[in-house]
Structure 1
Amino acid sequence: MRINRLVDQQRWVQGYHPGLRVIERGEVISIGDGIVWVRGLPSAALADILEFSDGSRGMVFDLSTERIGVVLLQRRGQLGAGSSVSRVRHHCSIGVGDALLGRVIDPLGDPLDGGPLPHCEFQQPLDGLSAPITAREFVNQPLYTGNRIIDTLLPIGRGQRQLIIGDEGLGRSSIALDTVIHQRHQGVRCVYVLIGQKRSTVANTLDILRRHGALEYTTVVVAAARALPGLQYLAPLAGCAIAEFWMRRGMDTLVVYDDLGTHARLYRELSLLLRRPPGREAYPGDIFSIHARLLERSTRLNSAHGGGSMTALPIVGTLQGEIAAYIPTNLISITDGQIYLTQELFSAGFKPAIDITRSVSRIGGKAQHEKIKQQAGRIKLDYLQFLELEGFTHIGARLEPAMEKQLKRGRVLRELLKQPLFKPQLIAAHFSWLLAYNQGWLDDYEIKQVEGVIDRLTRGVAGSRLTLDHPQEEWLHEVEVWLREVGSGEHRSGA
């Protein structure tokens, strides 16, 4: 071992070339609220990583002629005015690769789950450029969420950016978690980003993923509410970089940003502390471009570039259903559609509380299976007509028997669209109840019997060899057989 050490020393001496070395060193002027003002370092650029004399680290966030604004990423206890600072490297990056599957990390790649530091062979820049248009492919493959409303009426394609929007407490995160849980057998790697969330929320999210076996194919990036503002700002960029690495190697990925409303407020606070001029609602003028750069990296690559995809599910909150607020409208204009949840539906017991009339998926229909698209198109028209007709009943209007039948049929459909929490279903199960409803086989069932019908159809699909590629005649025969078990004797209202 001593011989090896001598050999290493000899190689170092042989490779050493004396010369003039110029090292820039700056000095801390002041520090507070996660912001450090530094003078010196004339070569520093935006997004450069700086290291302070006590071991703390920060990122250049603002440049002026006299000083540099730095946001802290790691803070030791001895940082103060007069501390020296130097540049470490040009851009912030994170270790990526399969070693991150099943791990809980911070935006710098440090473990938060008590495990060892992930051994990552590759580094990915946090704020990279999105794929050029020549490397992209049309969204043509579905990403199934397991949710009845989304997979049938608001389909999502792999590579799509679909916004989840609504007030707090309506189940926005539950829809995202349902989607992650459903990817277990879909070959999709997931990244779940928690931005500025309470520790209890973080613990609950991890518990749900662990209980449903979703953590083994998921990486969780956490910047909790007590983390430094700089780390919270980098959290969505880190999650995007991890998913982007897999996408560029031909894999399908899903990244959830929970949530970008908190991220926007955090960026506003940092910008105001750095004395940048405020704009609408005191947000800086570049908040739109920050989120646009982030979400534009989600796409589907063509076969010449690996054929991978990154689907984004950004989440944003509203206040009392105000969808026209600044940040929500920004994100709506960036994304390819939105899933809108309302308090009225939630209070009425319709869960998930997705407002179909104000939700849209602009490009997901291109990726939807033709059989699902055909059946679901009739469903949406029936449901919208039912909602309009139900409005007349609230004013006491008398309805003809045909309208009464249509009203009852619509109430059955509304019950079909309800779904328990964290119980995603296969697309074949969705197709079975779509067929049953469109054939009129569920018209004679009472509302309380619909849940039993769904359970029987789901069990029938699970034990069947049928897929969406089989002829529709085979499907109709099997669905009719399954319904006989719940449709015979006293189970039907007409019996």
Structure 2
Amino acid sequence: MSSILQEIEEQIANVSSSVEKSNVGTVREIGDGVARVEGLSDVQLNEMIDFGGGLFGLALNLEEGEVGVVLLGDSTHVAQGHECKTTGKLLSVPVGENMLGRVVDNLGRPIDGKGEIEAADVYPVEKIAPGIIKRKSVSVPVQTGIMAVDAMIPIGRGQRELIIGDRSTGKTTIAVDAMIAQAQQNKAAAEGRLKDHKPLYCIYVAVGQKRSNIARTIQTLENAGAMENTCIVAASASDSAANQYLAPYTGCAIGEYLMDQGKDVLIVFDDLSKHAVAYRQVSLILGRPSGREAFPGDVFYLHSRLLERSARLSEDAGGGSMTALPIIETQAGDLSAYIPTNVISITDGQIFLETDLFNQGIRPAISVGLSVSRVGSAAQTKAIKKVSGTTKLDLAQFRELQAFAAFGSDLDEATKSKINRGQRIVELFKQGQYSPKPLEVEVAVLWSMQNGYFDDVDVDRIKECQNALEEFFANRKADLLQLIADEKSLTDAVVDGLNQALKDFKTSWK
């Protein structure tokens, strides 16, 4: 009997030692930040592999005889024959409210020299998006402070709105303006000037940018007082392709934690074209077959599984939300290229910036014809919805008629009035960077335009008139602006106040 027990014990020992050995692998080949490892028979996709010396890898290719592992850090000490072992953990990053105000790398480690971050929890970088039952419809606006966006292409909390255009057309500026606007609204709410305001926390993911550009963006946010509500995840151009590939998912995990706490989050991915290129680089080194434009076949899934995680959760699921502003850079305005069409089909609309408009000094250079918000007026306050009613149509008609007017043909009165109105709308929508406007000022200006108060002003003096009007409201009609901010709709008292204020202003302004 004892010999049988001894035999069983030996078999158990052999099995356990073989299991142990199966979780230790040997590096067969290493190069370009990718290790091919043999012997890891018990490994999961996206599992962290420990190479010792604080270096971890990510198991991305599970093949029959080997595992393709992307190394996340300095791998100079790893050579052929080096041993590594599985950790049993999927790649996770630290999350928590302490991340706000900090700059972190693609693994959530601080890189701003302000000390360690005390994390509240650890979240996996890859997570299944919330299902339909957990979600609710988008109806609360993200007030960006950019008049053209708030009036014509409104963004709602929980939406995914793509910002797309050529290089140097102001894509990042729109996202940064929206982040600065949130800081201004939080300040107004703290001072009691904004009622029923739920703060919107921001996450900015910089992928493949020069470090000087990332530093400039951080400085801009700090100068505007927006950094304390913002977390920056940076994977610069000097980082490895694997780090650039992971950064958006890390930012998403940090945002998801806040969303699960019932908070509202705005996440900017700047930009996903570089993210796709980094993923293509990793995939080609791993030996995955390439398809169109040398991208791997799953490049659509790369962005869809990232952007689908943006949602507005129902009250039962915590009531938080995550709004995504992905940025895509086009080549010569080509919207029909591979990655742009992919991301357009995943998102709920796009803000398309045109190089020609930008060069004409129309900034933000938003193309009215190609920009759209699939949430629409559901994501606008009643006041903005009322005053911006036909603005987008007026501007689109103006762009069409402008082409005819260029030929110098005789125009009828109706066409002339549409062109005149369009020219004034274009001037009013010009806005300096990093100067978002509060809701009440937008309503006052748009209402003045809609009711013809700018019609008798020369086009080249529209901006001067608008600035004077905003100053007049701020200095002499602050109570009316406060009423608009409180009511958020055009009540009789608001309309009467606006009528009287505009009459007073027109008599004083020359």
TM-score by length of 2: 0.89
2:158 corresponds to: 159
Tell me which of 212, 224, 239 is aligned to 1:212.
224
1:137 corresponds to: 136
What secondary structure sits across from 1:437 in the alignment? Answer: helix
C-alpha distance after superposition, 1:330-356 (max 9, x if no partner): 000000000000111111111000001
2:434 corresponds to: 422
| Conserved 8 A contact 2:242-2:278 | no
| Conserved 8 A contact 2:271-2:326 | yes
Write the distance in 2 (CA, Å) between the matches of 1:308 and 1:457.
Answer: 38
Give the letter aligned to residue 195 of structure 1: V
What secondary structure sits across from 1:38 in the alignment? Answer: strand
> Against the structure 1 CA distance between its residues 483 and 374, is the aligned structure 2 distance closer, same or farther, given a 3 Å change threshold?
closer
1:378 corresponds to: 390
Write the distance in 2 (CA, Å) between the matches of 1:424 and 1:279.
Answer: 42
2:73 corresponds to: 74
Tell me which of 269, 280, 283 is aligned to 1:268.
280
The structural deviation recorded for 1:281 is 1.0
Write the distance in 2 (CA, Å) between the matches of 1:459 and 1:129.
Answer: 49
> Against the structure 1 CA distance between its residues 42 and 473, is the aligned structure 2 distance closer, same or farther, given a 3 Å change threshold?
same
User: How many pairs align?
Assistant: 474
Tell me which of 229, 247, 251 is aligned to 2:263.
251
1:227 corresponds to: 239
What secondary structure sits across from 1:329 in the alignment? Answer: helix
Correspondences of 1:322-361 after superposition (within 5 Å):
322-361=334-373
| Conserved 8 A contact 1:191-1:239 | yes
C-alpha distance after superposition, 1:303-347 (max 9, x if no partner): 001111000000001000000000000000000000000111111
The structural deviation recorded for 1:196 is 1.0
What secondary structure sits across from 2:283 in the alignment? Answer: helix
What secondary structure sits across from 1:340 in the alignment? Answer: strand
The structural deviation recorded for 1:72 is 1.0
Write the distance in 2 (CA, Å) between the matches of 1:460 and 1:43.
Answer: 71
2:8 corresponds to: none
The structural deviation recorded for 1:140 is 1.1
The structural deviation recorded for 1:471 is 4.4
> Against the structure 1 CA distance between its residues 233 and 347, is the aligned structure 2 distance closer, same or farther, given a 3 Å change threshold?
same
| Conserved 8 A contact 1:139-1:364 | no
Give the letter aligned to residue 373 of structure 2: S
2:105 corresponds to: 106
- 1:311 paired with 2:320, answer no
| Conserved 8 A contact 2:170-2:364 | yes
1:87 corresponds to: 86
| Conserved 8 A contact 2:47-2:86 | yes
The structural deviation recorded for 1:461 is 5.1
Q: Which runs of 5+ in 1 are unaligned?
A: 1-18
Give the letter aligned to residue 39 of structure 2: G
1:474 corresponds to: 493
2:212 corresponds to: 200
Write the distance in 1 (CA, Å) between the matches of 2:319 and 2:88.
Answer: 32
The structural deviation recorded for 1:473 is 3.3
Give the letter aligned to residue 425 of structure 1: K
Give the letter aligned to residue 65 of structure 2: E
The structural deviation recorded for 1:288 is 0.7
> Against the structure 1 CA distance between its residues 390 and 316, is the aligned structure 2 distance closer, same or farther, given a 3 Å change threshold?
same
47-56 or 286-295: bigger deviation: 47-56
Write the distance in 1 (CA, Å) between the matches of 2:311 and 2:432.
Answer: 31
| Conserved 8 A contact 1:254-1:312 | yes
2:28 corresponds to: 29
C-alpha distance after superposition, 1:38-88 (max 9, x if no partner): 111111121011111443211011111121111111225312112111112
> Against the structure 1 CA distance between its residues 489 and 398, is the aligned structure 2 distance closer, same or farther, given a 3 Å change threshold?
farther
The structural deviation recorded for 1:89 is 3.4
| Conserved 8 A contact 2:386-2:490 | no
Give the letter aligned to residue 278 of structure 1: S
> Against the structure 1 CA distance between its residues 406 and 364, is the aligned structure 2 distance closer, same or farther, given a 3 Å change threshold?
closer
What secondary structure sits across from 2:411 in the alignment? Answer: coil
| Conserved 8 A contact 2:382-2:490 | no
1:14 corresponds to: none
| Conserved 8 A contact 1:346-1:353 | yes
What secondary structure sits across from 1:233 in the alignment? Answer: helix
- 1:487 paired with 2:475, answer no
| Conserved 8 A contact 1:376-1:434 | yes
The structural deviation recorded for 1:475 is 2.8
C-alpha distance after superposition, 1:1-48 (max 9, x if no partner): xxxxxxxxxxxxxxxxxx866253211122211111111111112101
Write the distance in 2 (CA, Å) between the matches of 1:273 and 1:319.
Answer: 25
1:117 corresponds to: 116
The structural deviation recorded for 1:227 is 1.1
C-alpha distance after superposition, 1:214-265 (max 9, x if no partner): 1100000001111122211110000000011111111110000000111011
Write the distance in 2 (CA, Å) between the matches of 1:478 and 1:459.
Answer: 16
Q: Which runs of 5+ in 2 are unaligned?
A: 1-12, 187-198
TM-score by length of 1: 0.92
Write the distance in 1 (CA, Å) between the matches of 2:489 and 2:349.
Answer: 31
> Against the structure 1 CA distance between its residues 349 and 74, is the aligned structure 2 distance closer, same or farther, given a 3 Å change threshold?
same
Among the aligned pairs, what percent are the same residue?
40
Write the distance in 2 (CA, Å) between the matches of 1:141 and 1:339.
Answer: 19
The structural deviation recorded for 1:439 is 1.0
C-alpha distance after superposition, 1:407-427 (max 9, x if no partner): 222211110111111100112
Write the distance in 2 (CA, Å) between the matches of 1:313 and 1:482.
Answer: 37
| Conserved 8 A contact 1:54-1:79 | no
What secondary structure sits across from 1:128 in the alignment? Answer: coil
What secondary structure sits across from 2:54 in the alignment? Answer: coil
Write the distance in 2 (CA, Å) between the matches of 1:203 and 1:113.
Answer: 10
- 1:411 paired with 2:430, answer no
C-alpha distance after superposition, 1:99-133 (max 9, x if no partner): 10100001111111002120112111110111111
| Conserved 8 A contact 2:469-2:505 | no
- 1:241 paired with 2:253, answer yes
CA root-mean-square deviation: 1.8
